[in-house]
């Protein structure tokens, strides 16, 4: 089977590469000439563990190619994936202009029956819009079906998530389209992956509801952590005690500086907009968004309290990416906190194993970038852990203590144990413990 994946961002590149590894012939298309040139040279524009090896392997075996020629790729493909960006607009709703543009191009190039799949996270009703655009442009000329197949990949473990998903969701209006999609995903049948086959609209909502629920868990445990601090309880044990109830589940109950990244902030905001557009106020998710914003602010307060003040104070910041194993700094709580510290007059020395190139382009020019955690700790009034990279979990704390001007640490990811930090002579604060 030939497929074409339009958009070589995070979702498109991982999807195309993994399908190629399933044995499908995949053409990944992008209008960004530079990106396609990079990919042709074997360079990967994003940081994702294992992706380069998988791209190289499938390119070498002849199943994966990169091109800017959309027309030819659409002509050759039975299934066309739309994996272009849906960035948030000023008002928080998703910008569908790229999706619509691609739909028009697909319509112009239909040369027989095709399945058009939305893989990007799109508002409920987008499948219907795509369908309408294509029908209008190509008339009754060719048969096609529109399918919603949301992705549930996590940055940093995207390949594993694609190859061993908890489920595959397919929203479609025709049995033929479902049969073709199932054929495409057939290697997952061996793993007994559950398939949820539903309507296009239901599938579109599943994606938003799943992300909004996960964000709710995080904001919920962050509030529990804040309460723990007030009553003298330990959030890690509260989370453990809660999570052992199978109905609650242990995952996504790690308190911290708030959720970030390219998905949760965008999708929580979008689902409230979708609800509003239909005359409904999605109160829980609105509260989740508020709590997340307050959480970041509370972290700034925590650092201020630890350091005594912020004006003229030197802070070492460990981590800029929104989570470990990614260079993605979009909506990262670390970025927000660093910017706030600088706005309050602090001097910030920062280190991140992968996110510094991106940070240099968008963060305040006042940030001083360091070569490792030890350089960031040297001579600062307090050290702050903002992202839980593995290398920050096993720091030589004796050396760190020597390097710090005063032995103060704000561990916003609860990486270390309060009792042992105290025993080592640190003035140590964390979240909810
Ligand atoms: C998230 C979802 O987990 C994926 O299932 C989904 O496909 C993806 O969004 C998407 O919509 O594309 P991702 O944004 O890569 O994936 O990252 P997560 O690992 O979910 O983390 C999101 C944020 O929540 C991070 O800032 C992380 O630090 C924070 N988090 C996560 C917590 O603060 N506490 C937790 O317990 C878990």
Task: Tell me if 256 CB under 6 Å of ligand 1.
Answer: yes
Q: Are 215 and 284 in contact (CB under 8 A)?
A: no
3-state secondary structure of 351: strand
Q: Is 9 left (phi over 0), alpha (psi -120 to 50) or beta?
A: beta
Percent of the chain with pLDDT over 90: 94
Q: How far is the CA of 160 from the centre of ligand 1 (A)?
A: 15
Work out whether strand 25-29 and strand 64-67 pair parallel, antiparallel, or are unpaired. parallel
Task: Tell me if 263 CB under 6 Å of ligand 1.
Answer: yes
Task: Tell me if 154 CB under 6 Å of ligand 1.
Answer: yes
CA distances to 123, 137, 411 from 132, rounded to whole Å, are: 15, 9, 51
Gap between the Cα atoms of 408 and 5, Å rounded: 49
pLDDT at 404 over 80: yes
| Helix (DSSP H) and strand (DSSP E) numbers for the chain | 17, 14
- Burial tier of 91 (Cβ tally within 10 Å: 0-12, 13-18, 19+): exposed
How high does pLDDT run on average in the chain? Answer: 96
pLDDT digits (tens, 9 = 90+) for 31-51: 999 999 999 999 999 889 999
What's residue 128's pLDDT? 96
Among protein residues, the one whose CA lies closest to atom 27 of ligand 1: 259
What's residue 361's pLDDT? 96
The domain ranges of the chain are 2-198, 232-429
Give the range among 120-129, 381-390, 395-404, 423-432 with minimum mean pLDDT: 120-129
Task: Tell me if 328 CB under 6 Å of ligand 1.
Answer: no
Q: Is 263 a catalytic residue?
A: yes
Catalytic residue among 4, 18, 28, 263: 263
Task: Tell me if 323 CB under 6 Å of ligand 1.
Answer: yes
| Helix segments in 232-351, DSSP class H | 235-243, 264-277, 283-307, 333-343
Of 1.20.1440.120, 3.40.50.1820, 2.10.70.10, 3.40.50.720, the CATH number of 232-429 is 3.40.50.720
- Give strand ranges (E) for 59-214: 64-67, 79-82, 114-118, 144-148, 168-171, 195-198
pLDDT digits (tens, 9 = 90+) for 221-238: 999 999 999 999 999 999
Confidence of residue 189 (pLDDT cuts 50, 70, 90): confident
pLDDT at 313 over 90: yes
Strand ranges of the sheet holding 314-318, from the earlier edge strand across to the other edge:
368-369, 347-351, 314-318, 382-385, 408-411, 427-429
- Of 385, 389, 384, 386, the C-alpha closest to 354 is 389
pLDDT digits (tens, 9 = 90+) for 141-167: 789 999 999 999 998 999 999 999 999
- Of 104, 44, 32, the C-alpha closest to 74 is 104
- Of 96, 104, 102, the C-alpha closest to 123 is 96
Residue where the block lists tokens 């962050």: 222
Among protein residues, the one whose CA lies closest to atom 31 of ligand 1: 252
Tokens representing residue 170 in the block:
């397919």
Minimum-distance ligand 1 atom for the alpha carbon of 151: 7
What's residue 137's pLDDT? 87
Minimum-distance ligand 1 atom for the alpha carbon of 153: 7
pLDDT digits (tens, 9 = 90+) for 202-224: 999 999 999 999 999 999 999 99
φ, ψ at 190 (rounded to 5°)? -60, -30
Among protein residues, the one whose CA lies closest to atom 36 of ligand 1: 252
Do 232-429 and 2-198 fall under one CATH topology?
Answer: yes
Residue where the block lists tokens 């910008």: 95
Task: Mention the CATH class of domain 2-198.
Answer: alpha beta
What's the whole-model pTM score? 0.95
List CB contacts of 114: < 8 A, sequence separation 6 or more: 74, 77, 78, 79, 80, 106, 142, 144, 145
pLDDT digits (tens, 9 = 90+) for 270-302: 999 999 999 999 999 999 999 999 999 999 999
Site to substitute for ligand 1 among 151, 160, 204, 214, most atoms within 8 A of C-beta:
214
- Of 386, 411, 433, the C-alpha closest to 224 is 433
pLDDT at 182 over 90: yes
Gap between the Cα atoms of 25 and 42, Å rounded: 18
Gap between the Cα atoms of 361 and 357, Å rounded: 7
pLDDT at 175 over 90: yes
Q: Per DSSP, what are the bridge partners of residue 26?
A: 3, 64
């Amino acid at each position: 089977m030939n497929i074409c994946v339009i958009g070589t961002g995070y979702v498109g590149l991982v999807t195309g590469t993994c399908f190629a590894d399933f044995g499908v012939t995949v053409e990944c298309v992008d209008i960004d000439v530079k990106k396609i040139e990079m990919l042709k040279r074997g360079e990967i524009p994003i940081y994702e563990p294992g992706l380069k090896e998988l791209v190289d392997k499938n390119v070498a075996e002849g199943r994966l190619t990169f091109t800017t020629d959309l027309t030819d790729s659409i002509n050759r493909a039975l299934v066309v994936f739309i994996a272009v960006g849906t960035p948030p607009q000023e008002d928080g709703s998703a910008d569908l202009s790229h999706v619509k543009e691609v739909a028009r191009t697909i319509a112009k190039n239909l040369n027989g029956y095709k399945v058009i799949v939305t893989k990007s996270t799109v508002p409920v009703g987008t499948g219907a819009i795509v369908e309408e655009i294509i029908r209008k442009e190509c008339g009754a000329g060719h048969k096609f079906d529109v399918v919603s197949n949301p992705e549930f990949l996590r940055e940093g473990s995207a390949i594993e998530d694609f190859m061993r998903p908890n489920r595959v969701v397919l929203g479609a209006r025709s049995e033929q389209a479902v049969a073709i999609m199932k054929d495409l995903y057939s290697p997952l049948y061996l793993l007994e992956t559950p398939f949820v086959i539903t309507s296009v609209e239901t599938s579109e909502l599943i994606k938003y509801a799943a992300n909004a629920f996960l964000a709710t868990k995080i904001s919920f445990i962050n509030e529990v952590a804040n309460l723990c601090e007030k009553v003298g309880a330990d959030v890690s044990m509260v989370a453990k005690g809660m999570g052992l109830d199978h109905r609650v589940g242990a995952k996504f109950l790690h308190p911290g500086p708030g959720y970030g990244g390219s998905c949760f902030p965008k999708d929580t905001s979008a689902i409230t907009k979708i609800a509003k557009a239909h005359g409904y106020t999605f109160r829980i998710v609105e509260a989740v968004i508020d709590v997340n914003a307050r959480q970041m602010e509370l972290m700034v307060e925590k650092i201020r309290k630890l350091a005594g003040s912020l004006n003229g104070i030197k802070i070492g910041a460990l981590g800029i990416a929104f989570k470990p194993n990614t260079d993605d700094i979009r909506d990262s709580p670390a970025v927000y906190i660093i910017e706030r510290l600088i706005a309050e007059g602090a001097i910030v020395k920062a280190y991140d194993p992968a996110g510094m190139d991106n940070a240099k382009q968008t963060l305040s020019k006042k940030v001083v970038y360091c070569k490792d955690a030890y350089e960031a700790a040297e001579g600062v009034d307090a050290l702050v852990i903002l992202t839980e990279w593995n290398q920050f979990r096993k720091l030589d704390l004796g050396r760190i203590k020597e390097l710090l001007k005063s032995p103060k640490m704000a561990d916003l990811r609860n990486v270390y144990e309060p009792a042992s930090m105290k025993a080592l002579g640190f003035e140590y604060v964390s979240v909810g413990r």
